[in-house]
Each structure stands twice: as C-alpha cells, then as structure tokens.
Chain A
C-alpha cells in the first residue's frame, strides 16, 4: 500500500526511520502528527506534545485538539508557529 511518509523518506540517505515522528501542516489550519509520545501542554493558544528525543510546541489561536489517539493527533485552529524544542 502507498505510504506518503515512506515515499518522502525514500530518497534521503542515512535516515533512521525507527521511532521518529511525522508532521503535516495543512494550510496552517490543520496539523496532523504521527508518533507523538503524549500531550504536555494544552491551551487555546499553545499545544505542546512529546516526541522522541524532544518536544514540539504549536502556537496559534483557537487551537483545538480535534482527535487524539495513543500515537496520532490532529489539531485545528489558526497555527502560527511550530517549534521543535
């Protein structure tokens, strides 16, 4: 089956796929994350979650965690900044 992330990573050499996260930003209004390790901060303007070897901070307005499963999440709202910490 076609996997978008696998296709993207195929051309990059010396890249370790295990345990990493994937993130897709759609028009700055939807953010899809695969491979998160748990939500660390949740508010209307900031959502932060753990990933392997670090943390990601999302900033914006009216942020809502639209869907949350054990390793995926989907955020909607006006996303202004994605920061890897």
Chain B
C-alpha cells in the first residue's frame, strides 16, 4: 500500500504551482473543484517539498491527510502514550534485570534441588544482583551440607547457578562389603587371592551361588577386619544341554469328518442359527468369528464352529533312528553358551534311558573365571 500526503489548498495561480512542483516530485490526483480550491497528493517523503512550494506561491493549506503504511508508522512513532509506555516498559525491564529470578542447582545426586535453593534463597535477601556475594553463598552451602566436596556459585544473567559435587565415601569407610560368589557350577583349577578370606581351594567342586571369598581378613589378634573381597578364581565349568526322546507315544489326528455350525449375530443378538448335533466320540473344536459386511451401519457377525472328528494312533520311533540328530541338537544348544574366545577342554555325551524315555545330555567342559 503506497503512502501519500493529500493536500487541500486554496489560492490563485495553481497551474504555475503544479508545474513547478512537478519539476521536483511526482504529483498525483490533482482535482480542482473550483478556480481557487483543489486537492492533490504527493509521495509520503515529498511532502516537505510541496509544503515549501505552497508557501512560496502564497497558497493556503486547508487540510493535510496522510495515508498508507508510512502514515500508520509515523502515527505510532509520534504517539506519546506509546512512547511513554515503551520507555516505562524499558525501564521496568532494566530494573527487573537487576534482580535474580531463578536458581539452578547442578551436580547434586543425594541432596535435593529444593534443599539447596532454600539455603540460597535465605542468603540472597531481596535478590538484588549487585548485593549478592557468591563467596558468602558458597560458604553457607558448605556449612549447611556436610557431604559436599566442592561448591561453586555463579551469577549468570538473572540466574544463580550452584554447582556442587557430593563426597564419594569409599566402601572401606562404610564397611558394607559383599563376598565373592560363584556364578557357575564347576571345579576350582586356580586361585589368586587379592583381598579377603579365601573359602575354596584347587580341586573343590562349587555350585552356582557358593561363597568363594569372604569380605574380611583376620589379624594376628584374631579380630576380623572388613575388607572388600577380591580374587581371581578359575574353574572347569560344565555347560550341559539336554534333549528328551520318547520312543513310543500316542498321536492325535483328524479323520477328515467334520460338522460345521453357523450363527449370525447383530449387535450381540443371535438372529440366525444352523446347528447339527455332535456325534463324534473324540473331536476338536475350532471357532472363528468374521463380519459379513464392510460397513459399520449393520454389523452382522458370523460365528462358525467346526467340529473335527479326532482319533489316536500309536507312534513308535526307535531311539537309534534319531540318536545322531538329537545329539547334534543338544550340542548346538550347548555351544551357544560358549563364548567365542573360550577354549573347550572336553566334550562328552551322556545317554540315560528310563522306559520309553531317553535323555541325551551334551556336556562341554571349559576353563572359565568365576566369581562376582
């Protein structure tokens, strides 16, 4: 939207005036309503040239109107209320920036933010930034919390950032130590005690969960001194995987005869049913539900119940027929539990037979570091 100054002028010799004005700027919409009286427009920034020339030609300005975006902007810029409001807003912003508005706590784990903020809040008074002494706040935080190893307070903008580090108490000071426990079944092959009291020796057989090293040492006076239990203990551990074979069992199969019953529901209300009596002695039932149409206006639901006649037969598979494949299966399962870098010391297969049931155990022996 173009911006203009519209003048309403009165006076004689206006033709000369317009000719002169057109030499210095563009003149628009010259509308002479009488010999002495006319309206015209100039570009927004040419108005001073027009005003100067109007005075030179002794014309009288009846009215001046401003239109367009520059006019709106100039109104805003010359509006005293807005200027005063802006100045007051700016002053408030400057005053507000002198005060602390936020407290942030970094690095705390055990101590809560709230506790630290309470201490800082009490020490900053009305929050005027120039009166804040970070050293005093730091010492106050130190004295309020015992378990701090480092405190740093900084004022960044309108925020106080409290950076703290809590003390790490070594386990030796708390005295709460745990024993080293075996995490595998196996036979101990090597022990290297670092700290604590060893409970096993080479050749001992241990189960998963057995204690290997106790978390204390006994001094020359016979007193037990708590220490962190540490040791490197290796053992031959056994990875066992089992496969079971049943050489004679009954298998259920469908004879091919079946009865199909249908029911149709509308809004859970049964509206159709086709049902036959179940005449089979042994049977399996399969139910399926489907909607008959795709729209949701009339949701017809078809429920089909199929009754299959079932019979049983005796299946006999001799163990010799499946022995190799079962051993391979058990071996594959056992190997899955062996890490790539581990060296297998021994592999063996145990076969036990009770009645029709045969159990195949594939056992892999390897040397592994145990104890947690």
Contact = CB atoms under 8 A, between A and B. Distances in A.
Are A and B associated in one complex?
A: yes
B22 interface: yes
A54 to B, nearest CB: 17
B18 A43 contact: no
B309 to A, nearest CB: 97
Interface stretch (A3-11, A14-22, A61-69): A61-69
Interface string B192-209: 000000000000000000
A39 B21 CA distance: 11
B35 interface: yes
A70 B22 CA distance: 5
Query: Most B CB atoms within 10 A — which of A38, A41, A66, A68?
Result: A68
Contacts, number: 43
A40 B26 CA distance: 18
A42 B22 contact: no
B228 to A, nearest CB: 93
A44 B32 contact: yes
B35 to A, nearest CB: 7
Interface residues of A, number: 14
- Label chain B's interface by main secondary structure: mixed
Given A39-B18, A42-B14, A42-B15, A67 B32 contact: no
A38 B27 contact: no
Interface string A71-83: 0000000000000
B31 interface: yes
A66 B28 CA distance: 5
Contacts of A41: 15
A40 B15 contact: yes
A68 B35 contact: no
B372 to A, nearest CB: 90
A8 B31 CA distance: 32
B136 to A, nearest CB: 75
Nearest to A77: B31
Nearest to B22: A68
A70 B23 contact: yes
B19 A38 contact: yes
Nearest to B24: A70
A20 B52 CA distance: 32
B32 A68 contact: no
B35 A43 contact: yes
Interface in A30-59: 38-44
A68 to B, nearest CB: 4
Given A42-B32, A43-B32, A44-B32, A67 B15 contact: no
Query: Most A CB atoms within 10 A — which of B27, B33, B35?
Result: B27
B26 A69 contact: yes
A26 to B, nearest CB: 18
A44 B18 contact: no
A29 B14 CA distance: 24
B18 A67 contact: no
Contacts of B27: 65, 67-69
Nearest to A67: B28
B16 to A, nearest CB: 8
A55 to B, nearest CB: 12
B30 interface: yes
B29 interface: yes
Interface in B20-76: 21-23, 26-33, 35, 38
Given A39-B15, A42-B18, A66 B29 contact: yes
Contacts of B22: 68-70
Given A69-B26, A70-B23, A64 B18 contact: no
Q: Which 6 A-B pairs have the closest CB atoms?
A: A65-B30, A38-B19, A68-B27, A68-B22, A39-B15, A42-B32
Given A64-B30, A67-B27, 4 more contacts: A41-B15, A42-B30, A44-B33, A68-B28
Interface of A: 38-44, 64-70
9 contacts: A42-B14, A42-B18, A42-B38, A44-B32, A44-B33, A65-B31, A67-B28, A68-B22, A68-B30
